[in-house]
Each structure stands twice: as structure tokens, then as C-alpha cells.
Structure 1
């Protein structure tokens, strides 16, 4: 999954397996009854989480404005908001418990939605069903801030830091911050295919045992779109842990797969060798901008989200330049509404600070315009299936919660676990509300010789 307001300190950089890791927070069981509230987390380690342990100070006036805006928004939502002093707001629905109203409003006043996420990490607010609360908020996102304040976005919103630009060196750092956390961490909540992108189910609800087949169904559909067959020359942009390359090679294709994650490269190579397909697959530590050669097919799964708007033209030109005449490119991409993308593309968000530095979701309109204006490709097909991503994320989130002790054993502390739970629930809510979607694209390149 490749799904960003600014702070004085950079996001903690967790590492794994005996290395120093940013402190995680215990992931609450979001399936507990609505009458129960998860216990407050233990104290936050200030060395690992400086902005969570000691939030930036907001002026009294800014905090008061934030409190007024937040309370006005919550008052009209289908939520049951319970404050520590006994006050309540909302029209009824999933429970949201504000344990420390002053800190909660102060963080939002200082850093907007970054503060909202950090307040959860600090345990200043909680929810028995976190995903349900976040789904309500995502579904009403456009209404949460009054139009008069939205017009002042540049005043109160934090700007995306220049250090997160996805230049070749910046992209390596950004990718490493997420994908080099720990292969063992990802293995705890993903299925045996180690696929970290939306699965394609036959029906809902699904259980974790159905994930491998659903992931293979997704991969096979992309390979079919690209017409990958025996003898095909395939370029994969974004290796993950190698499952797509394995399935392409099993069809008889010759695959060159590119990644910027050393952890992923090492495990992907190991899995490919174990399958006896090392002669058909090469996994290179290489930026997509450095790719060479021509290919019958290019496949890229949820990698464009890490490219950044500045480099979308370069990304799509790479697909064009690497495809042989008559070639086909299959791309899976998470998308967001165009108006929200335009409003937030220069904003530093909680996701950008803690989960995907440098990330930005494109809109369907942005993809179409970039392909039209910068390539010789044609958008031949586009299929959306966002409900499948919501289901995929639910299964990942539940498995992550169930294995909290094992996450802890890897060296990830309670604040990290709480952060990761918020990220998975936040993403799931985006798809459940319809705010986010996921697309499978087919791009084709005309063969002038025909």
C-alpha cells in the first residue's frame, strides 16, 4: 500500500530487528462493544516521539477557535462524543471519547489534522470502534471546516516540507522510512503472499484465509490486462515482496522488477530463488527514472502514490518510453476526489508525517490529464473497486490488533502500535466512506508499424 501539516521534528524513523525503533502504542481492539472504551496508553517516550510527548504550543486564541470549530462540527455529526467532564455532542452513533479536551483542542489548534492524529497516538481521545468514527468523519470531510475558514487554508494548514520532495535521493529516503521498517512486521498482518495492496474478493465479508486467493485474483487480473504470457518481457515498477514477479515468471515471462527498499529487495530475491525462478526475475535496487530497455508490458501496483504530483509526468513518460510499440501497461492506483487533491496537495498531513512521507494520492482527472499531456499512451480501460480495499484493510487491521504482543516483541512500542492502528483504520474509513477509491488502469501504446 502506497497511500502528508509540518512539525519542528521529523517523523520518527523506526527500524527493526535489534535496531532502534520508534515507540509504538498498543493497538486498541476496535471490535469491542460500543459501551467500552480502550484503556489510556502508557506514557509516550519523548526521545522516540517528541511531538506526541510534548505537542507544539498553540496560542490561547487559536485553541479557543479550534475548540469552537471542532465542537460545532461534532455537534451535527452522527456520532456520540463524550467528554471527560461529562458533556456530550453529536446526533448519536459510534462513540468518540475525548479524555483530555484541552490537549485535544490545543493539538488541533496548533497543527490541524496532524494534531488530531497525534492526539490519538497520545491517548487524549479514543473510540471503542475507531474505524466507524473515522468513517463518519471521512464521509463528512468537506463539511467539517466552515467555508470561511477553508478559504484561509494557507494560513492554518501546514506546508509539505521540501525535504520530502521525491527527487531520486528524496524518494529513496521516503520509501525507506516505510518499507524498510521490518519485513517481520509486515509479515505479521499480511497473508502468505506478502501482498501490500488491495485484494480482489469474490464476495463480502471475507476472512483472512481468503486473502491469498483474493490477492492472486488481483495480480492475475493485472497480468491479464497487460497480456503477460510465455516469453513476455515485463518491467515491474515497485517490487513489493515479489509476488507479482513470481506469478508473471510462472507464466513464462522474463521480469525486471525495480524497488527502492533494500529490505524488500532482499526478501523478494530470497522468495524468487526458493521458487526456482531466479533465471526469469531480476530484482534491482533502482529508481523508476533510471530504468532502461524496452518491454512488452509494464506493471505497477500502488506505486504512483509515492511519486508526488511534481513527478507524475516523469512517471507516466517512463511507462511510455519503456513500452515497446504495441505494448500495454497495467497500473493499480489509489485515487481521491480531484477537488480535495487540489486543496491538499501542498499540505503536510498526518499520513505524510508518520506513514508515507512524500506521498500523494492522484485523482482520476489528474491521471487522465497527465497521460494525455505528457505521453503517447491511451487510457484504454479503468475499473474501480474501492469496497475491496476497505475489506482488505479490515483484515489487515484485525490481524495487526490480534498480534500486538508479537509486534511488541519486534521492538515496536505502544505509541507505534497505536499509530499503525490509526493508519489502518484511517485508510479503511476512507474507502468505506467512498472518499478514496482504487483503480486498475490499462494504458496502451499504438504500434505505428501496424
Structure 2
């Protein structure tokens, strides 16, 4: 496993997994995990009518897509180049979808009720044809089978701390098992495709350097970073001579970021604060925030952009890196409890470009530049997924059971498919203060 660059006195601590991770006894994972994941451990009680409707609609949709569909232990003829889906327990598969839609689809994978020899390829086909999965006349019935987001996931100050803890405080060692040595957990920028594993550290530095350039960070710049990660951007900015204040709500990330900054001899240039972005203090020459807005939640986007504007000195710049989706898709997702919000990023929502522009403008910021690079995120996620798959024994030794590993594999493949299908994009956006409105004579 790739270890973070720490001194012996600052070895990353493995925290207990969140409620979606393994039950453990003396470090040995239990595979059932019923108490922690009851919705995965057993299929829902049968509702024959809903199960029959799901079997008819989903079964028909799968057969119409460029997929090979297999049911039970016998595999049918395979078409070269086409991904497959094998239903080991069709009844449980359709019962879950009949009750919980796409949440049930993901939980069925976690439970081992279906598999694919090309999971990312399968999910890419589904993402590309997402509007074809339910017949048009029935799409208006969507509210009958989707769940509303639970109120406990709201990103109040307390809720935001808990939501961040549930993902980013899983274990520093878990993230180190599939990230590259820079510990960068956001899209890299490559110079050639297909990207190789050995290209990833340089590609992550290229992404960081581009953001710092966009924000005009140089020697003497006072920089605010919202969303520390494990400290690589702060290290890179400090090496340029900037003075960096970086904010995070993750205790695990803050501890390791401080250790890495100490090891680099840059503690006099970087201040890591365990602080909510809404409580940021001071004004800065530049603000950088990398894939942080997705965790804020639509309810709090006005507060987020107000914090960006409030932290900026006259003439300063904000450089954002954000995942985006189409505006209509964002509106549909905003009030919906999804598999990602249930198991991976509680309280999160990916914005649209329109939402970013409108909320930035309302806060007094204008868009200076906006560049997308979705194919680079697909490559980044592929490399993470391959590293995670190769590190299964390490992940098991950390106490994460089979169901958690299938959860994480599905999450990485699901995300990669979103970028491969262009359902998702990732963009680097520069914002600056709006010029004062000229007074009319």
C-alpha cells in the first residue's frame, strides 16, 4: 500500500469506519454487517405488484440496451465489446428496485445479487440511456418511487461536521490504498490518454498548478483554501512562497495534513484550521476551493458564495474546481435521496454550471473563465478503481468487509461512468468581484 509521507511520530491513524462500514471483532471483518447495513443485509419484504412492475420495466429496458443480460448460473451468448449484467438472484434484484429504485439497484450490487465482468462499461451504458430506462408516460410517476432526502443530512454546522466525518474520516489508510502519493482526491489533468498509474502524481500537480496560476498565486500571496484534503495544494502553494490558511471539517485530514506540512518544513507558511467555511476569518488575495461545493448542499450555496466573496480582497480571484451536471438533472436530484447520498456523500449535491453562475452573481462575483475536462476525471477514476481493486487485501486488513468493498467499487465505477457518458463534467472556474454599477445621470 502507498503510505502517506509522514514522520514516524505522525503515522496516519486508522479510524473506525462509519455506519456503512464493517462490523469488526479483533480487527476481523464480519461479512453480514446486518446491524450496520440492514437494507443491504436482507432484501425488502415482497410487494408483488411493485416487484412485477419493476421486473417488466427494468427487464425490458435492459434487453433493449446494448448489454448481455444473464439470469442465474447459466450465461447466454456474449457479444464482443458489450458489457454484461448477470442476475444471481433476480427476485431480490427486482424487489429492491421495486421498492427503492436506483438505491435498490446499488444495494443489490452491494449484496452480491448481481455482477458484471465490465461494471464501469455497464454503468456507462445505463448513464448514457438514463432517460430511456422508464417509458415517457410513466416518468411523471417518479415521486411515487423515489425517497426524499432525510432531514438529518442537512448541512447545518453540526450536520456538515457529521456528513464530512462519515466519508473523509473513514480511514487515512483506506484513502492511501487507492490514491497516489500526493493524496489528491479530485480530478487530475493529464497530457496523454490512456493515462498510466505512474502519470497520476504529475497530473495531480498539473491540476493544482493550473488552479494556483488561475488564482494568480505567487510569492507573497495570502491564500485561503476551503477544503484542505490531505494538504497537497497547501504544500504546493507554500512552496511558491504563498502564506496559506486552509480550512477543513475532517479531523483525520487535518491531522495528516499538518504532519505532511511539518515534514516539508512549511509550518510557518501554512495554517490548517478545523473550521467551517461559514466561519472563515480575514480577507485574502486569492481563494481556492477544489471539489468542495459538491458537499455544501443547495440550501447552503448562498452561504458558500457569500463566504468566497467575503474572504476576497479587492482585485482578488477565486479559483474553483467543481463537478457539474445538467441543470434539469440537478433539479431532479436536489430533493431525491440517491444511492450516493445514502452511502457515500450524505448531504451533497453536484451543481450545474447555471447554478454556480447564478449563485456567484448573487454574491457579487462574475465568471472570468470556465473550462471543462470530463475525460480527465474518467481517467483519474479508472486509475483509482484499479488501485483499489489491487489493494483488496490491504483494505480487508484495515477492517473493511466485503460489502463495503463492493460499495466502494460501485461508487468508483458509478462515478467514472458518469464522466465517460458526459452525464457529469468537471470544470475549473475563475471568479472575481463584479465591477461597480455605473450610476445613471
Query: Is this a same-fold pair by TM over 0.5?
Result: yes
Equivalents in 2 of 1:137, 1:193: separation in Å?
A: 33
Equivalents in 2 of 1:18, 1:377: separation in Å?
A: 39
Equivalents in 2 of 1:243, 1:23: separation in Å?
A: 27
Secondary structure at 1:151's aligned position in 2?
helix
- Check conservation: 1:77, 1:91, Cα contact below 8 A: no
Equivalents in 2 of 1:150, 1:384: separation in Å?
A: 30
Match of 2:234 among 245, 262, 273: 245
- Check conservation: 1:79, 1:90, Cα contact below 8 A: no
Cα gap change, 1:217 to 1:91, in 2 (>3 Å): same
Match of 2:331 among 342, 350, 354: 342
Q: Deviations over 1:248-296 (max 9, x none)?
A: 1111111100000000000000000110100010000000000011000
In the alignment, structure 1 residue 361 sits paired with structure 2 residue 368: no
Partner of 1:141: 130
Match of 1:227 among 197, 216, 219: 216
Partner of 2:303: 314
Correspondence list, 1:56-95, <5 A: 56-84=44-72, 93-95=82-84
In the alignment, structure 1 residue 290 sits paired with structure 2 residue 279: yes
Q: CA deviation at 1:376?
A: 1.4
Correspondence list, 1:32-431, <5 A: 44-84=32-72, 93-372=82-361, 374-431=362-419
Partner of 2:433: 445
Query: Which moves more between the two structures, 53-62 or 125-134?
Result: 53-62
Q: How many residues align?
A: 416
Unpaired runs of 5+ residues, structure 2, are 1-12, 24-29, 437-441
- Check conservation: 2:31, 2:401, Cα contact below 8 A: no
Unpaired runs of 5+ residues, structure 1, are 1-15, 26-41
Secondary structure at 1:96's aligned position in 2?
strand
Partner of 1:17: 14
- Check conservation: 1:131, 1:429, Cα contact below 8 A: yes
Equivalents in 2 of 1:226, 1:358: separation in Å?
A: 28
- Check conservation: 1:325, 1:447, Cα contact below 8 A: no
Q: Deviations over 1:339-377 (max 9, x none)?
A: 1111121000001111000110001111111112x2111
Cα gap change, 1:89 to 1:364, in 2 (>3 Å): farther
Equivalents in 2 of 1:147, 1:335: separation in Å?
A: 25
- Check conservation: 1:265, 1:283, Cα contact below 8 A: yes
- Check conservation: 1:18, 1:411, Cα contact below 8 A: no
- Check conservation: 2:16, 2:171, Cα contact below 8 A: no
Equivalents in 2 of 1:50, 1:289: separation in Å?
A: 35
Secondary structure at 1:361's aligned position in 2?
coil
- Check conservation: 2:357, 2:366, Cα contact below 8 A: no
Equivalents in 1 of 2:422, 2:17: separation in Å?
A: 38
Equivalents in 2 of 1:157, 1:184: separation in Å?
A: 35
- Check conservation: 1:166, 1:358, Cα contact below 8 A: yes
